[in-house]
Amino acid sequence: MEFDDATDDDREAIREVARKSIEASYALSPRTVETLLETEFDGGRLADLIEGESALVARDDEEGVVGFFLGTAEDGVGTVEWIHVATEARGQGVGRELYERGTERLRDRGAERIRAEVLADNAQGRTFFEQFGLEADDQRDVEIGEESFRAHVYTEGDSDDEVSPHTESDPVVDAGETVEARNGETVYLGDEELPGEQGPFYVAYEGESRDDPYSFVCGNCGTLVEAVDSLDRVECEECGNLNTPDEWDGSYL
Protein backbone atom coordinates (compact mmCIF):
# COMPACT_ATOMS: atom_id res chain seq x y z
CA MET A 1 0.00 0.00 0.00
CA GLU A 2 1.33 3.42 -0.97
CA PHE A 3 0.22 6.80 0.37
CA ASP A 4 0.80 9.91 -1.71
CA ASP A 5 -0.70 13.23 -2.80
CA ALA A 6 -4.06 13.17 -4.51
CA THR A 7 -4.16 14.68 -8.00
CA ASP A 8 -6.87 15.73 -10.42
CA ASP A 9 -6.47 12.34 -12.11
CA ASP A 10 -7.69 10.71 -8.87
CA ARG A 11 -11.00 12.57 -8.73
CA GLU A 12 -13.16 9.82 -10.23
CA ALA A 13 -11.50 7.15 -8.07
CA ILE A 14 -12.02 9.27 -4.95
CA ARG A 15 -15.69 9.67 -5.82
CA GLU A 16 -16.10 5.90 -6.22
CA VAL A 17 -14.38 5.17 -2.90
CA ALA A 18 -16.64 7.75 -1.27
CA ARG A 19 -19.70 6.06 -2.73
CA LYS A 20 -18.72 2.62 -1.45
CA SER A 21 -17.82 3.90 2.00
CA ILE A 22 -20.91 6.09 2.43
CA GLU A 23 -23.26 3.31 1.34
CA ALA A 24 -21.62 0.91 3.80
CA SER A 25 -21.39 3.31 6.74
CA TYR A 26 -24.55 5.41 6.68
CA ALA A 27 -28.28 4.78 6.62
CA LEU A 28 -28.86 7.09 3.67
CA SER A 29 -31.28 6.62 0.79
CA PRO A 30 -29.78 6.20 -2.70
CA ARG A 31 -31.09 9.64 -3.62
CA THR A 32 -29.40 11.22 -0.59
CA VAL A 33 -26.13 9.44 -1.39
CA GLU A 34 -26.21 10.84 -4.93
CA THR A 35 -26.94 14.33 -3.61
CA LEU A 36 -23.99 14.11 -1.23
CA LEU A 37 -21.66 12.87 -3.97
CA GLU A 38 -22.77 15.61 -6.34
CA THR A 39 -22.32 18.28 -3.68
CA GLU A 40 -18.96 17.24 -2.24
CA PHE A 41 -17.22 15.08 -4.84
CA ASP A 42 -18.12 16.64 -8.17
CA GLY A 43 -16.96 19.88 -9.75
CA GLY A 44 -15.01 22.61 -8.02
CA ARG A 45 -15.41 21.51 -4.40
CA LEU A 46 -13.27 18.38 -4.77
CA ALA A 47 -10.78 20.19 -7.03
CA ASP A 48 -10.30 22.89 -4.37
CA LEU A 49 -9.65 20.30 -1.67
CA ILE A 50 -7.11 18.48 -3.82
CA GLU A 51 -5.29 21.73 -4.51
CA GLY A 52 -5.20 22.54 -0.81
CA GLU A 53 -2.08 20.43 -0.16
CA SER A 54 -3.80 18.24 2.45
CA ALA A 55 -5.31 15.65 0.13
CA LEU A 56 -3.90 12.12 0.32
CA VAL A 57 -4.83 8.81 -1.26
CA ALA A 58 -4.02 5.20 -0.43
CA ARG A 59 -3.09 3.20 -3.53
CA ASP A 60 -3.19 -0.56 -3.84
CA ASP A 61 -1.09 -2.17 -6.56
CA GLU A 62 -4.08 -4.07 -7.93
CA GLU A 63 -7.14 -2.06 -6.89
CA GLY A 64 -5.81 1.46 -7.39
CA VAL A 65 -7.15 4.15 -5.01
CA VAL A 66 -8.79 2.47 -2.01
CA GLY A 67 -8.90 5.36 0.47
CA PHE A 68 -8.46 9.09 0.79
CA PHE A 69 -8.07 11.97 3.24
CA LEU A 70 -9.24 15.52 2.52
CA GLY A 71 -8.54 18.29 5.01
CA THR A 72 -8.33 22.05 5.40
CA ALA A 73 -6.46 24.31 7.82
CA GLU A 74 -7.67 27.75 8.82
CA ASP A 75 -7.23 29.99 11.88
CA GLY A 76 -5.26 27.32 13.73
CA VAL A 77 -7.91 24.62 13.26
CA GLY A 78 -7.34 21.62 11.03
CA THR A 79 -10.59 20.13 9.78
CA VAL A 80 -10.89 16.57 8.55
CA GLU A 81 -13.29 17.25 5.71
CA TRP A 82 -13.51 13.65 4.53
CA ILE A 83 -11.75 10.38 5.24
CA HIS A 84 -13.05 7.23 3.59
CA VAL A 85 -11.79 3.74 2.88
CA ALA A 86 -13.34 1.36 0.36
CA THR A 87 -15.04 -1.64 1.95
CA GLU A 88 -12.62 -4.13 0.40
CA ALA A 89 -9.64 -2.38 2.00
CA ARG A 90 -10.99 -1.99 5.53
CA GLY A 91 -9.39 -3.74 8.47
CA GLN A 92 -5.85 -3.18 7.15
CA GLY A 93 -5.05 0.04 8.99
CA VAL A 94 -5.55 2.19 5.90
CA GLY A 95 -7.82 4.66 7.69
CA ARG A 96 -5.40 5.06 10.59
CA GLU A 97 -2.47 5.72 8.28
CA LEU A 98 -4.46 8.24 6.25
CA TYR A 99 -5.57 10.06 9.39
CA GLU A 100 -2.09 10.25 10.88
CA ARG A 101 -0.47 11.40 7.65
CA GLY A 102 -3.29 13.80 6.84
CA THR A 103 -3.43 15.50 10.21
CA GLU A 104 0.36 15.84 10.17
CA ARG A 105 -0.06 17.80 6.94
CA LEU A 106 -2.66 20.01 8.63
CA ARG A 107 -0.32 20.71 11.54
CA ASP A 108 2.44 21.62 9.10
CA ARG A 109 0.02 24.20 7.71
CA GLY A 110 -0.52 25.78 11.12
CA ALA A 111 -3.28 23.69 12.68
CA GLU A 112 -3.04 23.64 16.46
CA ARG A 113 -6.18 21.54 16.95
CA ILE A 114 -7.92 18.92 14.84
CA ARG A 115 -11.65 18.96 14.21
CA ALA A 116 -13.95 16.41 12.52
CA GLU A 117 -17.64 15.71 12.07
CA VAL A 118 -19.51 12.43 11.69
CA LEU A 119 -23.21 11.73 11.32
CA ALA A 120 -24.78 10.51 14.54
CA ASP A 121 -25.90 7.14 13.17
CA ASN A 122 -22.33 6.11 12.26
CA ALA A 123 -21.21 4.61 15.56
CA GLN A 124 -18.07 3.08 14.05
CA GLY A 125 -17.04 6.43 12.60
CA ARG A 126 -17.37 8.09 15.99
CA THR A 127 -15.26 5.37 17.58
CA PHE A 128 -12.63 5.91 14.90
CA PHE A 129 -12.09 9.56 15.83
CA GLU A 130 -12.21 8.83 19.56
CA GLN A 131 -9.24 6.47 19.28
CA PHE A 132 -7.13 9.47 18.25
CA GLY A 133 -8.13 11.46 21.33
CA LEU A 134 -10.89 13.52 19.74
CA GLU A 135 -13.95 14.19 21.89
CA ALA A 136 -17.54 14.92 20.90
CA ASP A 137 -18.12 18.40 22.31
CA ASP A 138 -20.94 19.67 20.13
CA GLN A 139 -23.75 18.63 17.80
CA ARG A 140 -25.33 20.28 14.80
CA ASP A 141 -27.86 19.53 12.09
CA VAL A 142 -26.57 19.15 8.54
CA GLU A 143 -28.71 19.36 5.42
CA ILE A 144 -28.23 16.84 2.62
CA GLY A 145 -30.66 17.58 -0.13
CA GLU A 146 -34.07 17.92 1.49
CA GLU A 147 -33.18 15.87 4.58
CA SER A 148 -31.69 16.95 7.90
CA PHE A 149 -29.26 14.79 9.87
CA ARG A 150 -27.67 15.15 13.30
CA ALA A 151 -23.87 15.31 13.24
CA HIS A 152 -21.42 15.04 16.15
CA VAL A 153 -18.56 17.54 16.16
CA TYR A 154 -15.26 16.15 17.42
CA THR A 155 -12.23 18.13 18.54
CA GLU A 156 -9.04 17.25 20.34
CA GLY A 157 -9.25 17.14 24.13
CA ASP A 158 -8.57 19.96 26.58
CA SER A 159 -10.89 22.24 24.65
CA ASP A 160 -11.85 25.52 26.31
CA ASP A 161 -15.14 25.50 24.44
CA GLU A 162 -18.34 24.91 26.33
CA VAL A 163 -19.26 21.25 26.23
CA SER A 164 -22.64 20.38 24.78
CA PRO A 165 -25.21 19.39 27.40
CA HIS A 166 -26.22 16.41 25.26
CA THR A 167 -23.99 13.92 27.07
CA GLU A 168 -24.73 10.46 28.34
CA SER A 169 -26.15 10.33 31.86
CA ASP A 170 -28.28 8.15 34.12
CA PRO A 171 -31.87 7.89 32.83
CA VAL A 172 -34.24 10.47 34.31
CA VAL A 173 -37.17 8.08 33.80
CA ASP A 174 -37.31 4.32 34.29
CA ALA A 175 -39.40 1.42 33.06
CA GLY A 176 -42.82 1.25 34.67
CA GLU A 177 -43.20 4.99 35.25
CA THR A 178 -45.81 7.33 33.79
CA VAL A 179 -45.13 10.38 31.64
CA GLU A 180 -47.41 13.22 30.60
CA ALA A 181 -47.73 13.57 26.82
CA ARG A 182 -47.86 16.93 25.02
CA ASN A 183 -51.65 16.69 24.75
CA GLY A 184 -51.91 16.34 28.53
CA GLU A 185 -52.67 12.63 28.52
CA THR A 186 -50.71 10.20 30.67
CA VAL A 187 -48.74 7.42 28.99
CA TYR A 188 -47.40 4.33 30.71
CA LEU A 189 -43.90 2.99 30.22
CA GLY A 190 -43.37 -0.72 29.67
CA ASP A 191 -40.30 -2.86 30.25
CA GLU A 192 -39.28 -2.86 26.58
CA GLU A 193 -36.57 -0.44 25.57
CA LEU A 194 -34.43 0.55 22.61
CA PRO A 195 -30.78 1.50 23.08
CA GLY A 196 -29.90 5.15 22.60
CA GLU A 197 -26.66 7.08 22.48
CA GLN A 198 -27.41 8.97 25.71
CA GLY A 199 -29.96 6.70 27.34
CA PRO A 200 -32.61 4.10 26.47
CA PHE A 201 -35.92 4.76 24.74
CA TYR A 202 -38.87 3.16 26.54
CA VAL A 203 -42.00 1.95 24.77
CA ALA A 204 -44.97 4.02 25.96
CA TYR A 205 -48.58 2.78 26.13
CA GLU A 206 -51.91 4.59 26.15
CA GLY A 207 -53.45 2.60 28.99
CA GLU A 208 -52.28 1.32 32.34
CA SER A 209 -52.81 -2.23 31.08
CA ARG A 210 -50.01 -1.53 28.58
CA ASP A 211 -51.79 -3.25 25.69
CA ASP A 212 -51.70 -0.45 23.09
CA PRO A 213 -48.25 0.95 22.20
CA TYR A 214 -48.38 4.72 21.86
CA SER A 215 -44.83 5.92 21.19
CA PHE A 216 -41.43 6.14 22.90
CA VAL A 217 -40.11 8.11 25.84
CA CYS A 218 -36.48 9.27 25.95
CA GLY A 219 -34.83 7.92 29.08
CA ASN A 220 -32.22 10.68 28.96
CA CYS A 221 -34.57 13.63 29.38
CA GLY A 222 -38.09 12.21 29.75
CA THR A 223 -39.45 13.68 26.51
CA LEU A 224 -42.20 11.85 24.65
CA VAL A 225 -41.04 11.01 21.11
CA GLU A 226 -44.14 10.81 18.98
CA ALA A 227 -42.65 9.80 15.62
CA VAL A 228 -39.77 8.00 13.92
CA ASP A 229 -38.24 8.98 10.58
CA SER A 230 -38.29 7.15 7.25
CA LEU A 231 -35.23 5.11 8.24
CA ASP A 232 -36.89 3.87 11.46
CA ARG A 233 -34.60 5.98 13.63
CA VAL A 234 -35.95 7.23 16.95
CA GLU A 235 -34.58 10.66 17.85
CA CYS A 236 -35.42 12.92 20.76
CA GLU A 237 -35.93 16.48 19.54
CA GLU A 238 -35.25 17.83 23.02
CA CYS A 239 -31.81 16.39 23.84
CA GLY A 240 -30.66 14.75 20.61
CA ASN A 241 -30.66 11.19 21.99
CA LEU A 242 -30.66 8.86 18.98
CA ASN A 243 -31.44 5.23 18.29
CA THR A 244 -30.64 3.63 14.94
CA PRO A 245 -31.59 0.16 13.65
CA ASP A 246 -29.01 -2.54 14.33
CA GLU A 247 -28.86 -3.60 10.68
CA TRP A 248 -27.16 -0.32 9.79
CA ASP A 249 -24.18 -1.03 12.05
CA GLY A 250 -21.08 -2.03 10.14
CA SER A 251 -17.29 -1.98 10.06
CA TYR A 252 -15.62 1.33 9.35
CA LEU A 253 -11.93 1.85 8.78
Rounded to two decimals, the pTM is 0.63
Share of the chain above pLDDT 90, in %: 22
pLDDT tier, 104 (very low <50, low <70, confident <90, very high otherwise):
very high
12 neighbors 48 (Cβ within 8 angstroms): no
CATH code, domain carrying 85: 3.40.630.30
Report the amino acid identity of residue 22.
I
115 and 12: one domain? yes
What is the rounded distance in angstroms from the CA atom of residue 248 to the CA atom of residue 253? Answer: 15
In this structure, what is the dihedral angle of CA atoms 118, 121, 127, 130, given to the nearest 10 degrees? 40
- State mean pLDDT over 139-146: 82
- State mean pLDDT over 95-122: 90
Position 49 in a domain? yes
119 and 237: one domain? no
141 and 182: one domain? no
Is pLDDT of 20 > 60? Answer: yes
pLDDT tier, 171 (very low <50, low <70, confident <90, very high otherwise):
low
Dump pLDDT digits (tens) for 189-234. Answer: 888 878 777 778 888 888 888 888 878 888 878 888 866 654 456 7
205 and 96: one domain? no
pLDDT tier, 80 (very low <50, low <70, confident <90, very high otherwise):
very high
List the domain range (segments joined by +) for residue 133: 2-156
Position 172 in a domain? no
CB-based contacts of 237-240 (< 8 A; 24+ apart in sequence): 239/165, 239/166, 239/198, 240/120, 240/139, 240/150, 240/166, 240/198
- State mean pLDDT over 10-35: 85
Query: Which of 122, 156, 190 is a domain's end point?
Result: 156
Element (H, E) at 224: strand 224-225
15 and 99: one domain? yes
36 and 70: one domain? yes
Angle (CA) 10 14 19, round 5°: 155
Q: Report DSSP state, residue 197.
A: S
Give the total number of structural domains in the chain: 2
Is pLDDT of 176 > 80? Answer: no
50 and 100: one domain? yes
Predicted confidence at residue 166, as pLDDT, reads: 37
95 and 216: one domain? no
Query: Which of 156, 187, 214 is a domain's end point?
Result: 156
What is the rounded distance in angstroms from the CA atom of residue 129 to the CA atom of residue 198? Answer: 18
Share of the chain above pLDDT 70, in %: 84
> Is 153 exposed, middle or buried (CB count within 10 Å of its CB: 0-12, 13-18, 19+)?
middle
What is the rounded distance in angstroms from the CA atom of residue 176 to the CA atom of residue 188? Answer: 7
